Structure 1
């Protein structure tokens, strides 16, 4: 059981959880100033500029992380606790073009006219290429090809998709390694074959809840290879090689694979704060949703401190700690265009390890150990073969999550599918919804208010809501506060504040949302997608937009929104959808031309309350780069 204590403004000032007690402090502008973790009494303190930008992070042992910004509020530099520096450069359009590390290694980005990533090159001091990634795209914006040079080994990939932008074929010039995938209408992968002609084929069987129950060789009537079972909450219990144990909040508590057993502990925000395996305990201290420090069983000096960039899942430096104020060798992360860690270098700019993943996150080759902490899409690999995506774990061997989506059908008809089966285009940092790495990078150019205030405090509400039973959720969602729209007004105001850059509006809205957990969940998903710096980003090129349509409402109407409809309860009501819009389809794209684009609150049409942020786009067919279209069942 978790209890929350709030101040007069509704801000959470303490959470009491069986694993940890967390205490929060705020300044007169309602910004987070301190977080105290009862485990070892570790404190993180935050200092802000008058304009609301995070200037400094200081831990209770005196380690300091400093943040610098350019004149428009974008993150321009970070000084890590070990005094290593990271600097960023942007072009006139606000796109990240260069990142320089303390060991003089660099990452350089090039873009197409529509803001899609064209090339990413990681180089060392001598301008030798560490990794290089070149991308092309098809007519609807899916990645059509990738040329990948990692550690001097180059592979050329080509990708094919079905009409729903699901990945159906991967080739790399070697017939024996060609992959073909097929899906059913509910986004379940039914067949996976390797080779041309196929030398290996796996067939997958599902139950009516889209739970994978059997894996067969060749066809669904072929030799049974694996049987999978689930508990009544849809959590995987056994997959033939691993057994799973879950806690009362549907969080993975333990995994056993052969002789290896790994146990986990979580805090009130749902963050994984403890892992025990082979008698070794690892504990993590968080800065928002990012790991700040790693400890062993004792809370004296950390084993390592981490520095993240301005983005989501953007690790930059891991500095080993040798004493109260001394450090050992630093480790620098190098990523590809999906955010996957494909290389590590040390303080002398020597590449120490590289690795390569397939489209689904299976490790193909390389030597980067699990202890490096980050891997596919910048998330955390595990000894069990799973990858931790915050809200839940992902199994790359089957390309699915091992538990249901905590936000239910708001995340899509298939609660186990990973990024709508488009893994070379999207990531899922929170284990809740697919997002574009590019849209996050564009939104995350600055590190500001949302870095900690919303993430630390708001996620408490989010995790609390997600842990409730369905009946309690329904009761809460139909409470008088929600029915009258009071709490939802906070979400609308927060959304408007994020998009328009009105910080006062955001502050007021966040205070007002304490009455309604679901409003907080929706707002957090919105703010998390906008990312650090989102409040100052505005509706700009690269902004992700969505449209619900069907029957009397066509696919290319002028009304779109920046909020993913799958993350909003009662979307029809809050979006003010007219009766002729059946809500049977969902389109998703990226704004590539802002000419004439305006922002307003959705009108309260046909008895709906409206209020959701609405982006009015004069010529959507020419101004939006369409990324995905899917049928929705049940419809909005």
Structure 2
């Protein structure tokens, strides 16, 4: 065992926290080891505090200066944050803490105006008044539409959003978005009393209907296109386990997807998708290490290929360092695509080979080198980091030293996708445009973006061929994306659960059906691996490298795959090759974000790092914070404007507090106090045993004798402990004659011995009485009886299990009977190693492998039921 541990990268690599005298964490120490057997490197993260205990500096193990420096106001609020990655920002709050004015390092300035209810009314940006305008209803507004006091209109750079009516919980029921070109689109929704969307009519007139289970999880989604009368089922019969993880769902194309989890820890073990008796469409099996990191993914639908002296069998392996950063990944890919950023194109599956990627990081979490090893095409990609920040760019040893002040703006926003392709950012650090081709005459192939309240609502891509210009643009609306092109094509993309409906309203491309319902099969990260049509036929099949780049892509046709919108982690890739996550953009060819985290250091001091360099086990849903990727859940998703307290979520809606307990009589309170004292650590240490045992008598006698000694010494004159002046002040402090002192000492010792003897005898007599009382408080006799009964039952169950092991077939009824007996034992003694081992043995009695999964899952459910329902009630229910 020692040899195995010593051979691991995790050998002696604890995580330590050092606190100062105030209990504030001033150092976090992590130990880095990438190769087993090498010495570990201590990485120290430092925090600094002022005299009031407020955090003022944070520094990572790599830099020599703090990553973050914070200045606080007199009230404790943060006024200024200076980041080496994102620059500084200064905030001037009002009396109520509202942000009145803000400045930043890019010389931007905002002034916000509030009304008397502290609602934002206008925002002034860089001297331009009324960049954002918010209009609210007063008390005279139509009460039938619940508009009083609510937001009526919001005007910003993207256009205007009008709220026409509200629900009882404050959700907008009807809203109209008008873009800057004058086009207006209206969306309507119907909510349940708990705040879940029941029905939605988008701007194209298409309707979605959602239904939920008793626990609030999504149960069914139906779709009805504009002009149709029939509802089309999209997903239905969604089933969850007790932990809220999805275990099964049925799609409208008759494909059934299933997920199986380890009942001991809830980790995803496998997922599969299949239509009826047809061949399995998708089947992934996951292996984990002891802390839950995925170490292997087996694709059981992969057809083994022998090519170029290799066996390509569809498995992928992953290795991590002691900080759980990905250091090595193996898999398979087609001939590497061009390194030029952009949308991936279908690859040649005939040149599919195994690959190995290794990753090297610096002490700040920056990926410095990616080495890709393949039989016919290997390469190495390196990054160069700024010495004073985490800003980095692609670099080769033959390149000149990069000028980071020219490659990034003062807020750390990357200024070019690659040389000749600039990125433009607005004052709010939102990507405004990407230029693909720049021309001297001013015309450029570029993509432009508009945002509203921080979310992207419009995208337009323009290209030029000679003097002819072309464009296609996308409007993002609730539940609908409208794509239009200069050739008259108009496409409505309706998102419904895990499916997307592509409905061409005008001029569909040749060779494509006018209405397509595409169903996505995803992996544990939510990446769209397969797209299926309404007949479960494959439209596209895509694989990804660990950090999101496409490893291979197979498609029914090039025109079909060009309308694939959801890719890695379920996100949309733009023509520039950037993934839009909601809060910022991700560059898969750089394996990092192109701008700092807008939420600050909430996800670490490196503001460019993608999921802590562990893209196999974590995802980032919005571009701000990484979350575990394996917990697949389906619950009510509130609308962005829905108050959190209106959602059926136990964490957001805690149950009401129970009524106060009635007052107890003083006798019951005294008994409760005595029981708590007897069962406390002190009580168990003083009286570990009870009853009339000699140990109890000796302990009680010793305690009573000690009390007697204290009483004697505190009440009687002790000659041996008395200084000379305390005998007789009249003698001038001298001692009396020897016979007097001897008589006094003799008398004191006689009294002391008599008192000690009496106390010891009293303790011996009281010992059994006190022991019996303690046993009564601890319910010792009942516990002993239960343990004795449980031991007999355990022996009997072991015998029955041994008898059933020799049988060829064991019925489900017999298994349940054995399991119920084990649960009865756990009712008596609680869950023990013996009971757990017996339950595992019972689960292995049936010869079918599926029975193991069923039995272990049933055990977990039975244990939860056991905690809530008494055994007698379960027996009555069985009768």
Q: 1:166 matched to which residue of 2?
A: 325
Which residue number corresponds to residue 128 of structure 1?
A: 279
Aligned pairs for 1:315-464 within 5 A:
315-322=498-505, 328-367=515-554, 369-439=561-631, 441-442=632-633, 445-448=634-637, 450-454=638-642
Separation in 2, partners of 1:232, 1:419: 24
Match of 2:156 among 17, 20, 25: 17
Aligned pair 1:201/2:380, yes or no? yes
Residue 524 of structure 1 aligns with which residue?
none
Q: Are 2:135 and 1:5 aligned?
A: yes
Shift of 1:348: 2.2
- In structure 1, what is the Cα distance between the partners aligned to 2:425 and 2:616? 30
2:253 pairs with 1:66: no
CA shift at 1:502, angstroms?
4.4
Report if the CA contact (8 A) 1:150-1:354 is conserved. no
CA 502–254 in structure 1, closer or farther in 2 if over 3 Å, else same:
same
Distance 1:415 1:498 in 2: 33
Pick closer, same or farther for the CA change 1:88–1:271 going to 2, 3 Å: farther
Post-superposition shift, 1:333? 1.6
Deviation at 1:106, TM superposition (A): 2.6
Partner of 1:30: 170
Please say if residues 137 and 144 of structure 1, whose CA atoms lie closer than 8 Å, have aligned partners that are also in contact: yes
How many angstroms does 1:370 deviate by? Answer: 4.6
Which one of the candidate residues 651, 669, 674 is aligned to 1:499? Answer: 651
Rate the CA distance shift 1:342–1:150 in 2: closer, same or farther, 3 A: farther
Correspondence for 2:783: none
- So what's the TM-score if we normalise by structure 2? 0.48
- Residue-by-residue CA offset, 1:32-70 (whole Å, 9 max, x unaligned): 312211133211111122343321111344321001112
1:65-106 Cα distance to aligned partner (Å, 9 max, x none): 001112222211000233331114224413211222211123
CA shift for structure 1 position 239: 4.7
Aligned to 1:77: 220
CA contact (8 A) 1:214 1:225 kept: no
| CA-CA distance at 1:7 after TM superposition | 4.9
Contact 2:355/2:373 (8 A) holds in 1: yes
Alignment of 1:219-368 (within 5 A): 221-222=397-398, 229-241=407-419, 242-258=421-437, 260-278=445-463, 279-287=470-478, 291-296=479-484, 303-309=491-497, 315-322=498-505, 328-367=515-554
Distance in structure 1 (CA, Å) of the matches to 2:214 and 2:489 = 37
More helix per residue: 2
Q: Quick one: distance in 2 between partners of 1:306 and 1:41?
A: 18
Shifted more, 364-373 versus 496-505: the winner is: 496-505
- Provide, for residues 512-565 of structure 1, a one-character-per-residue CA deviation record: whole Å limited to 9, x for no partner: xxxxxxxxxxxxxxxxxxxxxxxxxxxxxxxxxxxxxxxxxxxxxxxxxxxxxx
Distance 2:622 2:655 in 1: 25
- What SS class does the counterpart of residue 250 from structure 1 fall into? coil
| Match among 82, 87, 105 for residue 236 of structure 2 | 87
1:97 paired residue number:
247
Whether the 8 Å contact between 1:295 and 1:302 is mirrored in structure 2 is yes
SS in 2 for 1:157: strand
| Equivalent residue pairs, number | 453
Residues 224 and 301 (structure 1), Cα distance of their counterparts in 2 relative to 1, 3 Å cut: closer
Q: 1:115 aligns with which of 266, 272, 283?
A: 266
Change (3 A) 1:329 1:194: closer
Measured against aligned partners, the alpha-carbon deviations of 1:264-285 in whole angstroms (never above 9, x if no partner) come to: 2222332242222322232223
Tell me the TM-score normalized by structure 1: 0.65
C-alpha displacement of 1:400:
0.5
Change (3 A) 1:62 1:244: closer
CA distance in 2, matches of 1:54, 1:65: 9
> Structure 2: how far apart are the matches of 1:322 and 1:237?
38
Once residues 190 and 316 of structure 1 are traced to their aligned partners in structure 2, the CA distance between those partners, rounded to angstroms, is 38
Specify the SS of the correspondent of 1:361: coil
> For residues 595-610 of structure 1, what are the structure 2 equivalents within 5 Å?
none
Q: CA RMSD in A?
A: 3.4
Q: How does 1:565-580 map to 2 (within 5 A)?
A: none
1:155 counterpart residue number: 314
Q: Whose RCO is larger (CA < 8 A, sep 6+)?
A: 1
Greater shift in the superposed pair: 14-23 or 52-61: 52-61
Q: Which runs of 5+ in 2 are unaligned?
A: 1-130, 139-147, 226-230, 305-312, 334-352, 439-444, 464-469, 508-512, 556-560, 658-829, 831-879
